[in-house]
Each structure stands twice: as structure tokens, then as C-alpha cells.
Amino acid sequence: MAWRPVHPRHAIERARIIVIFKGQLPAKFLRKLASNSEERRLELGFSSMNWREGHSFQIGGPAVSVNSGPAQLFGWDWQNLSTGNVPLETLVLENQNLIYETVDYTRWAEFSSRFENVALPILEEVLGLVDISNLVLEYVDRFVFDGPVTEARAEGVLSETFVSLPEAARTGSAAWHSHLGWFEEIEGHSMLINQNVDAQDGSFQADGPAVRSLQVYTKTDLRPRDYENGYEGLRSAMNAMHVKSKQLVYNILTPDMRQSIGMEGS
């Protein structure tokens, strides 16, 4: 029995870029931007558009205060759906952030180019009102074990230099997780790094046998200091965040697993 990446050529299950704003966008602005972007939405292949509404609440004083009136608009999203109505690609604009996500990742060049094609015209409008607080890049990699859960030894995926695990975790007899976080500097900006590895049990069918997988979550969270020209002024930093994320995953995998997903020699 052996481990395998979730896809034949790579292990990336989901990739996401998040732009967090300093301040909130007003609902009137969100409605107008959605209306003005409708033609582009269709041209870009997003078949679904949804408003995001909810009730606000305030914590403080003797009780929690809840707005019981009409639901308030706080954003909208576009979705590119599969034939089975599963979201393959999503763009979300909310009053405090913009999120672009895909489950159909191929290469960084294609992913970053698509993000800019979809999101930059919207960001240009948004950044006329607010600045960027955080720029976040997230990757979720997954490795699946073809065999009994109790035989899913972690060293089939993780290198010897990875943080040591109890024997129960290494042998596959128990689920486990390892969550790490630290700060680094990149291109003059402070960056929080999170690398979380979780052993998860699930099944491909409702009544099927348990399947063990390892999820590797890698997040680089940039806190910009001084920059110009909006997102374009942070493009180089975003590329460096991708390189860092790739290196983080490379460092914890075995040589054989690196080879299976095309990371050796890259």
C-alpha cells in the first residue's frame, strides 16, 4: 500500500488569494460595483452570481444586541460551476475583503494570471476607497493512502526533518495534527507563516471504508508596510510568497513524494 497525491501530477486541492482591506466598503458601493461588473462576469465564465446578506449584532453592555430588521448586504460572489453544480472557481467581494479561490489549480503562472484578470479591475475600484491591510496566499495539498488506515505511516509522505511525531501518529493508528506558525520578513514587509498538517479520516462513499489522508495547509500572510500603485506594488511580494510556500511544502516531503508531484529539480 502507498501514498499518492490527490491529483495525478500535483497535490494541490485548493488555492486561494485573500486581500483584506483597511476599513469597510459601503453596501451602496458593493451594489454599484456588482452591477457595473455584470458584463465582465459573463465574459469571464462565471455562471452564478449571489448576494451575501445577513443580520448584524453587537456584543457589549448587559446583553448582545441583534439587528432584527431586514438583512443587510455585506457582499457578493461569482461562481464558475461544474456540470454537477460544484464550484470550480469563486470570486468573493465582501465589505472587508476580496477572495479568489480555485479547485482547478495547474501552475502558478496560470493561477496568478487568472486572479489578476478576474480581480484587478475590481480591486482598482476598491482601492480608491480603502488600502490593503493583509495579502494572503493559501494552498491546501492532500495526500491519500490506498490501504487500511492503521497502516498509513506518516513517513510515507513526510521527511525525517519534519517535526517529530509520537509513535501512535507515525504508525497510522491514530489521527493527529501539527500546527506551526512564525513570522518572517519578505521584501521589507512582515509576513506570518502557518503550516498545518492534519491526518484526516473520511470515505469516498457514504458506506465505504475509512480512508486516511494528510492535508497540508500552507499560508503566507503579508502585512504591507510601504507600497505604491495598489496591488501592482505588491505583485513582486506575491510572487515571493508563492516561492516561499512551495519551499515550505518541499522541505517537509520525502524525496519520493517530491518526485511524484514534480517538485524534484524544480
Establish if 155 belongs to a structural domain: yes
Same domain? For 145 and 263 the reply is yes
- Where b means 16+ CB within 10 Å and e means fewer, 245-265 reads beebbeebbbeebbebbebee
pLDDT tens track for 55-65 = 555 555 565 55
Establish if 63 belongs to a structural domain: no
Q: Which of 2-16, 47-61, 138-152, 171-185 has the lowest mean pLDDT?
A: 47-61
Domain termination residue (choose one: 111, 129, 147): 129
Same domain? For 170 and 187 the reply is yes
Residue in the block written with cell 508531484: 261
Establish if 107 belongs to a structural domain: yes
Same domain? For 83 and 199 the reply is no
Write down the pLDDT at residue 203.
76
Write down the pLDDT at residue 229.
74
pLDDT tens track for 133-147 = 999 999 999 999 999
- For range 46-72, the mean pLDDT: 71
Contact in structure between 106 and 11 (CB atoms under 8 Å): no
Give dist(CA 23, CA 133) in Å, integer: 9
Give dist(CA 213, CA 142) in Å, integer: 7
Q: CA gyration radius for the chain?
A: 21
Write down the pLDDT at residue 116.
97
Establish if 5 belongs to a structural domain: yes
- Is residue 144 within a helix (H) or strand (E), and if so which, with residue range? strand 131-145
Give dist(CA 227, CA 134) in Å, integer: 12
Establish if 232 belongs to a structural domain: yes
Same domain? For 16 and 30 the reply is no
Establish if 60 belongs to a structural domain: no
Residues 6+ apart with CB under 8 A from 182: 192, 193
Same domain? For 86 and 216 the reply is no
Q: How many domains would you assign to the chain?
A: 2
Write down the pLDDT at residue 242.
98
Same domain? For 209 and 125 the reply is no
Give dist(CA 115, CA 91) in Å, integer: 9
CA distances from 195 to 99, 138, 252 (A): 20, 10, 10
Contact in structure between 134 and 241 (CB atoms under 8 Å): no
Write down the pLDDT at residue 150.
85
3-state secondary structure of 156: helix
Contact in structure between 61 and 75 (CB atoms under 8 Å): no
Write down the pLDDT at residue 60.
58
Same domain? For 18 and 138 the reply is yes
Residue in the block written with cell 513526510: 158
Range of the domain at 211: 1-22+131-266
- For range 220-248, the mean pLDDT: 91
CA distances from 57 to 27, 65, 67, 69 (A): 17, 5, 6, 11
CA distances from 12 to 43, 102, 192, 207, 254 (A): 27, 10, 21, 26, 16
- Give the residue, 43 or 150, on which the prediction is more confident: 43
- For range 100-128, the mean pLDDT: 96
β-strand partners of 134: 20
Cβ atoms within 10 Å of 232's Cβ, excluding its own? 14
Write down the pLDDT at residue 65.
55
pLDDT class of 68 with cuts at 50, 70, 90: low
Write down the pLDDT at residue 228.
76
Same domain? For 145 and 14 the reply is yes
Write down the pLDDT at residue 232.
85
Same domain? For 152 and 259 the reply is yes
**DSSP code of residue 158:** B
Same domain? For 135 and 39 the reply is no
Establish if 208 belongs to a structural domain: yes
CA distances from 22 to 19, 33, 126, 146, 235 (A): 10, 18, 11, 46, 19
